[in-house]
Amino acid sequence: MNVILAIKQYISKMIEDSGPGMKVLLMDKDTTSIVSMVYAQSEILQKEVYLFERLDSAGRETMKHLKCIAFVRPTKENVELLAQELRMSKYGLYYIYFSNVISKQDVKVLAEADDQEVVREVQEFFGDYVAVSPHLFTLNINGCCQGLNWSTDSLARSTQGLTSVLLSLKKCPMIRYQNSSETARRLAENVRQTINKEAALFEFRKTDVAPILLILDRRDDAVTPILNQWTYQAMVHELIGIANSRINLSNVPGISKELQEVVLSPEHDEFYANNMYSNFGEIGNNIKELMDEFQTKSKSHEKIESISDMKQFLEQYPQFKKMSGTVSKHVTVVGELSRLTNKHHLLEVSELEQDIVCQGDHSAILQRIKTLIASEKIQHIDMLRLVMLYALRYESHSNNDVSGLVDALRKRGVSDRLRMMVHAVLDYGGKKSRGSDLFGNQDIVSITKKFLKGVKGVENVYTQHKPLLYSLLDQLIKGKLKEGAYPYLGVSQLKDRPQDIIVFVIGGTTFEEALAIHTLNRSSPGIRIIIGGTTVHNFKSFLDEVAQAVQGQSSSNVGPRYHRR
Amino acid sequence: MSCRDRTGEFLSACKVLQTRQINGAIQRPSHPLKQRSEFTQIAKRIGRDLANTFTKLEKLTILAKRKSLFDDKPVEIQELTYIIKQDIASLNKQIAQLQQFVQHHKQQNGKHLQTHSNTVVVSLQSKLANMSNDFKGVLEVRTENLKHQKSRREQFSQSNAMSMHPSTVGSREKSVLFEDEATYGGASGGGDFVMNMDGSSKHQQQQQLIDQQDTYIEDRANTMQSIESTIVELGSIFSQLAHMVKDQEEMVQRIDTNVEDTEMNIEAAHGEILKYFQSVTSNRCLIDQPPKIRNTLRFLYKIQKIDASCYRFSYIPSRSGPKRERQTMGNNEEDCDT
């Protein structure tokens, strides 16, 4: 149950299958990111793949001495492009790998195009998703819903992605879905359909306990992507933005040229792998340790007196260079994070955010929000966070003052577009679209838990919030997840304690949830959980997602509300 | 990690398509064909005819090389020889026409097109020359065979004459006896008559034998003549070819020297680039600069290609060597075209 490993295996198998000799890797837009997430270029270069090309790029040169490994998604355009490519073959031999099931028709089209008999293999390798970390995958679909329902393309892509995850991990799961969500049900049904259609593919050795695929909807928990984050990975994503494990630092003042775009990949960066789930304070300490280590190393390099010293130096120099790269990278990133935190007073904002979500006192919270909004120091976007959280939390509270807060936002000069998001998020993830008890006010047990927690006091005010997913999975592992809210698709039901769980969040997951899965994986032995989503959100991308999801809705529902205010 | 191999399906689809194409069920979209000039079409036709003639020649070779005395099929061989002879003549004519065509359109076409068509013509001619050479060889073999057969037949036919016509021999003996009888025994006129009868029959039989041999020899002479005339014709074709080769001589010489120069330069450059490549591969910054590698690789590849062709050139020492090479290269181009 390691998605990175799965994709890696696929790619190395591809490269091995074509035998020795110089190779070119031909990819499309999606597979490029799939490959780049798991393999560094230098690693692939070692396997005699010297050239990387995009299938859709024009003007590639003819190089008949190269073997071509084509790894593409089985879309119509790709098949057409491949057919063209085969008619005017630029490389010596072609090994074609599709990242998903391809229709007979398309195989025929390719066969027809293979005039020059250059195709050696046509295979399906089910690596149709982007593996972010061993237990986290994404499909990189931004804005999967329209009018609060699936857009057709996204549904097809999600189904393909999800089935390819199942195939690559060799799991034929029982499917549970969130009952309150139409989108989750449709996806579940589509996945089931695909499994039935390709039954031959899904014939794996039966395990004792069947794996479970749990399909959730982001709308059930709109709070998690709104919150400010304090673990390294999540923070970087929230404040700077990670795209395919690359971050863009070109906006950082005084950045040197080679650090404008850096790669943060747990596969190739030990420090990052160890610290991606540490919180901001720990990172500070760890980075100091790293610095110290680096300093002692660099000092030891200063004294070079004898030939043997030189020899040693030369041997260690690459490692040293690598380390210095890592150090400068992380120091820059953390420096930027801390600069942003101080500049925008994120600590204060975050404390209030956590309190809104986890505490119950309405009037005090409203007061605090008002004072913060009135103060000059925080960003518009953070004000928006607070108001959105407030709106979600106290949607049904008798004295709620959402309109007052939105008014306050207007006075502070927050743009129309952003203010509209407050209502959009209520439409998206408001009470009527939620199936579960997000804030834990109805259940007696959770109220007592909350009360106890209040009595004990919290360790860290900035990380009080636990995503809903955490409690859901906890229940699922204990076998307490309610049948009514999360029914099985089909008749068979799981009696035992589940072992392998694959969670898919429609509308995108977050790094906070990935962290929750990470801790769950660690704390519960024998249970392996993988989480995936249509994308991995930070607040900005979530705003876009919400905006798009609400956009196509019938105007009777949304329109008047906006005009009224 | 599961995967599914669709290669089998792909290959079977290919096979189905191929069979369909052979049956002519699928008409390929022929728009690229339309763009082809008259020249290529003619060239293509000639190429096809050449191939056909080659197959015929193969058949003839098999027939001619057969050494058996009894399973000889002179008629077939003769027919085939005739057909091939005609084919070669017509091909020669066609190529001449093609050449004229090229000459005629000299002004219209660009330089590259011109050289291309020239190479095509030359390659076709060389193929034809090869074929006529083969043909000549086959005919020679045939003549040799015939001679051999004849000698063998002579051997056998003498002994045959002894064993197979005991009556004649016997009659001769008899007649001698009769003569003896006649001389010694003072035989009657009837005996004389008998003797005469015997003599005439002997004469008849001999006549028959001679007749048989005559027709056979005539046959043989005809064959020889036809072979001779064929060889003469071939000779004229060869002289034509020689003429053409002479035409090309100067250019070939230039190519030869140029190629030698280039080879030297390229070797030097190759060494340099290998050095650079090594330094580049050992350099870590390469990882960040794929275009650089790409360019280097491309360049290296080109160098290698030129290098290889140089070797091919230098491998054939004779003056006609490079020319032949040029022809075959042109031929490749032609293949790509068709």
**pLDDT 10s digits, A477-519:** 888 888 888 888 877 777 778 888 999 999 899 999 999 999 9
Distance from CA of A495 to the nearest CA of B (A): 27
Number of residues written out for chain A? 565
Q: Which two tokens stand for residue A490?
A: 């089909």
Q: Which two tokens stand for residue B259?
A: 């190629």
Closest by Cα among A374, A275, A377, A292 to A334 = A275
Greatest distance between any 2 Cα atoms in chain A: 83
- Residue contact A65–B301, C-beta within 8 A: yes
**3-state DSSP call for residue A493?**
coil
- Residue contact B2–A22, C-beta within 8 A: no
pLDDT of residue A243: 86
pLDDT of residue A560 exceeding 50, the answer is no
Helix, strand, coil % in chain A, rounded to nearest 5? 55, 15, 30
pLDDT of residue A547: 87
pLDDT of residue A552: 65
Contacts of A108 in chain B (CB under 8 A): 13
pLDDT of residue B235 exceeding 90, the answer is no
Q: What is the DSSP letter of B318?
A: S
pLDDT of residue A556 exceeding 50, the answer is no
Q: Which two tokens stand for residue B202?
A: 């002997």
Closest by Cα among A208, A176, A197 to A490 = A176
Which member of B17, B284, B290 has the closest CB to residue A112? B17
DSSP code string of A70-120: EEE---HHHHHHHHHHHHT--EEEEEEEESS---HHHHHHHHHH-TT--EE
Q: What is the DSSP letter of A525?
A: T
Cα atoms in the Cβ-side hemisphere of radius 13 Å centred on B129: 17
Candidates A104, A107, A203, partner chain B, best to mutate (most B CBs within 10 A)? A107
As to burial, measured by CB atoms within 10 angstroms (0-12 exposed, 13-18 middle, 19+ buried), residue A208 is exposed
The CA distance from B113 to B106, in Å, is 9
Which residues are paired to B5 by β-bridges?
A123
Per-position b or e across A409-431, b if 16+ CB within 10 A of its CB: beeeebeeebbbbbbbbbbbbbe
Candidates B5, B9, B10, partner chain A, best to mutate (most A CBs within 10 A)? B10
Question: Which residues, 6+ apart, have CB-to-CB distance to A399 below 8 Å?
Answer: A362, A363
Q: Which two tokens stand for residue B248?
A: 């090309």
Q: Which two tokens stand for residue B218?
A: 């005539």
User: What average pLDDT does this structure show over B244-260?
Assistant: 81
Q: Which chain B residue has its CA at the smallest distance from A63's CA? A: B298
Q: Where are the alpha helices (DSSP H) in B165-188?
A: 166-180
Contacting B residues, span 254-293, partner chain A, CB-CB under 8 Å: 284, 287, 290, 293
- Residue contact B10–A125, C-beta within 8 A: no
- Residue contact B287–A107, C-beta within 8 A: no
- Residue contact A63–B7, C-beta within 8 A: no
- Residue contact B297–A119, C-beta within 8 A: no
Which residues are paired to A510 by β-bridges?
A537
Closest by Cα among A218, A230, A231 to A541 = A218
Question: Which residues, 6+ apart, have CB-to-CB distance to A32 below 8 Å?
Answer: A52, A54
Q: Tell me how crowded residue A210 is: count the other CB atoms within 10 A of its CB.
A: 18
Which member of B1, B4, B298 has the closest CB to residue A201? B4
Distance from CA of A126 to the nearest CA of B (A): 6
Question: Which residues, 6+ apart, have CB-to-CB distance to A124 below 8 Å?
Answer: A74, A97, A98, A99, A100, A101, A102, B3, B4, B5, B6
Q: Give residue-wise pLDDT tens across range A158-174.
A: 999 999 999 999 888 88
pLDDT of residue B200 exceeding 70, the answer is no
Q: Which two tokens stand for residue A77?
A: 């355009």
Q: Tell me how crowded residue B299 is: count the other CB atoms within 10 A of its CB.
A: 14
The CA distance from A484 to A465, in Å, is 26
Contact A141/A183 with Cβ under 8 angstroms?
no
Positive or negative, the CA dihedral A349, A354, A357, A358 is negative
pLDDT of residue B26 exceeding 70, the answer is no
DSSP code string of B92-103: HHHHHHHHHHHH
Q: Which two tokens stand for residue A282?
A: 């720990």
User: Looking at the complex, does the CB of residue B28 fall below 8 Å from at least one CB of chain A?
Assistant: no
Closest by Cα among A273, A241, A28 to A142 = A241
pLDDT of residue A531 exceeding 90, the answer is yes
Q: Tell me how crowded residue A446 is: count the other CB atoms within 10 A of its CB.
A: 14
The CA distance from B103 to A298, in Å, is 77
Residue with tokens 């420090």: A271
Give how far Cα B80 sits from Cα of B47, B219, B231, Å.
20, 17, 15
User: What average pLDDT does this structure show over A111-137?
Assistant: 89
User: Looking at the complex, does the CB of residue A111 fall below 8 Å from at least one CB of chain B?
Assistant: yes
Residue with tokens 């084509």: A70
Q: Is the ipTM of this complex over 0.90?
A: no
Looking at domain A132-221+467-550, its CATH class is alpha beta
Q: Which amino acid is at A67?
A: K
Contacts of A42 in chain B (CB under 8 A): 287
User: Looking at the complex, does the CB of residue B14 fall below 8 Å from at least one CB of chain A?
Assistant: yes
Contacts of A98 in chain B (CB under 8 A): 6
Contacts of B284 in chain A (CB under 8 A): 318, 321
Contact B114/B38 with Cβ under 8 angstroms?
no
Greatest distance between any 2 Cα atoms in chain B: 128
Contact A175/A191 with Cβ under 8 angstroms?
yes
pLDDT of residue A96: 92
pLDDT of residue A446: 60
Contacts of B298 in chain A (CB under 8 A): 61, 63
Q: Which two tokens stand for residue B232?
A: 């003469």
Distance from CA of A257 to the nearest CA of B (A): 14
In this predicted structure, which of B15-19, B186-190, B211-215 has the lowest mean pLDDT? B186-190
Q: Which chain A residue has its CA at the smallest distance from B26's CA? A: A112
The CA distance from B11 to B25, in Å, is 19
pLDDT of residue B280: 76
In this predicted structure, which of A373-377, A541-545, A546-550, B181-185 has the lowest mean pLDDT? B181-185
Q: pTM for this one?
A: 0.63
Q: Does domain A232-344 have CATH number 3.30.2130.30?
A: no
Contacts of A124 in chain B (CB under 8 A): 3-6
pLDDT of residue B287 exceeding 70, the answer is no
Contacts of B290 in chain A (CB under 8 A): 41, 51-52
User: Looking at the complex, does the CB of residue A104 fall below 8 Å from at least one CB of chain B?
Assistant: yes
User: Looking at the complex, does the CB of residue A320 fall below 8 Å from at least one CB of chain B?
Assistant: no
Which residues are paired to A260 by β-bridges?
none
The CA distance from A387 to A383, in Å, is 6
Label residue B167 by pLDDT band (50, 70, 90).
very low
Compute the count of residue pairs across chains A and B with CB atoms less than 8 Å apart. 76
**3-state DSSP call for residue B51?**
helix
Q: Where are the domains of chain A?
A: 3-125, 132-221+467-550, 232-344, 352-429
> What phi and psi values does residue B296 have, to the nearest 5 degrees?
-60, -45
User: Looking at the complex, does the CB of residue B311 fall below 8 Å from at least one CB of chain A?
Assistant: no
Q: Which chain B residue has its CA at the smallest distance from A7's CA? A: B1
DSSP code string of A261-290: EEE--TTT-HHHHHHTTSBHHHHHHHHHHH
Contacts of A107 in chain B (CB under 8 A): 6, 9-10, 13
Q: Tell me how crowded residue B157 is: count the other CB atoms within 10 A of its CB.
A: 16
Distance from CA of B53 to the nearest CA of A (A): 27
Contacts of A167 in chain B (CB under 8 A): 2
The CA distance from B81 to A282, in Å, is 96
Which residues are paired to A279 by β-bridges?
A231
Distance from CA of A284 to the nearest CA of B (A): 30
Closest by Cα among A75, A66, A80, A64 to A100 = A75
First-residue to last-residue Cα distance in chain B = 44
The answer to whether domain A3-125 and domain A132-221+467-550 are alike in fold is yes
Closest by Cα among A119, A131, A102 to A10 = A131
Residue with tokens 């004389």: B192
The CA distance from A410 to A408, in Å, is 5
User: Looking at the complex, does the CB of residue A15 fall below 8 Å from at least one CB of chain B?
Assistant: no
Q: Which chain A residue has its CA at the smallest distance from B287's CA? A: A42
Distance from CA of A41 to the nearest CA of B (A): 7
Contact A362/A356 with Cβ under 8 angstroms?
no
- Residue contact A41–B4, C-beta within 8 A: no
| H-run or E-run covering A22 | none
Label residue B174 by pLDDT band (50, 70, 90).
very low
User: Looking at the complex, does the CB of residue B232 fall below 8 Å from at least one CB of chain A?
Assistant: no
Strands (E), chain B: 3-5
- Residue contact A124–B4, C-beta within 8 A: yes
pLDDT of residue A324: 86
The CA distance from A137 to A4, in Å, is 9
**3-state DSSP call for residue A376?**
coil
The CA distance from B62 to B137, in Å, is 12
- Residue contact B5–A102, C-beta within 8 A: no
| H-run or E-run covering A65 | strand A63-72
- Residue contact B10–A107, C-beta within 8 A: yes
User: What average pLDDT does this structure show over B107-125?
Assistant: 78
What is the crossing angle of helices A402-411 and A416-429, to 10°?
160
| H-run or E-run covering A374 | helix A362-374
pLDDT of residue B292 exceeding 80, the answer is no
pLDDT of residue B34: 47
The distance from CA B157 to its chain's CA centroid, rounded to whole angstroms, is: 36
pLDDT of residue B186 exceeding 50, the answer is no
Helix, strand, coil % in chain B, rounded to nearest 5? 90, 0, 10
Label residue B266 by pLDDT band (50, 70, 90).
very high
User: Looking at the complex, does the CB of residue A22 fall below 8 Å from at least one CB of chain B?
Assistant: yes
A3-125 fold: Rossmann fold (3.40.50)
Q: Give residue-wise pLDDT tens across range B294-332.
A: 677 777 777 777 666 655 555 444 444 444 444 444 444
Positive or negative, the CA dihedral A488, A490, A496, A498 is negative
pLDDT of residue A79: 92
pLDDT > 90 fraction of chain A, expressed in percent and rounded: 18
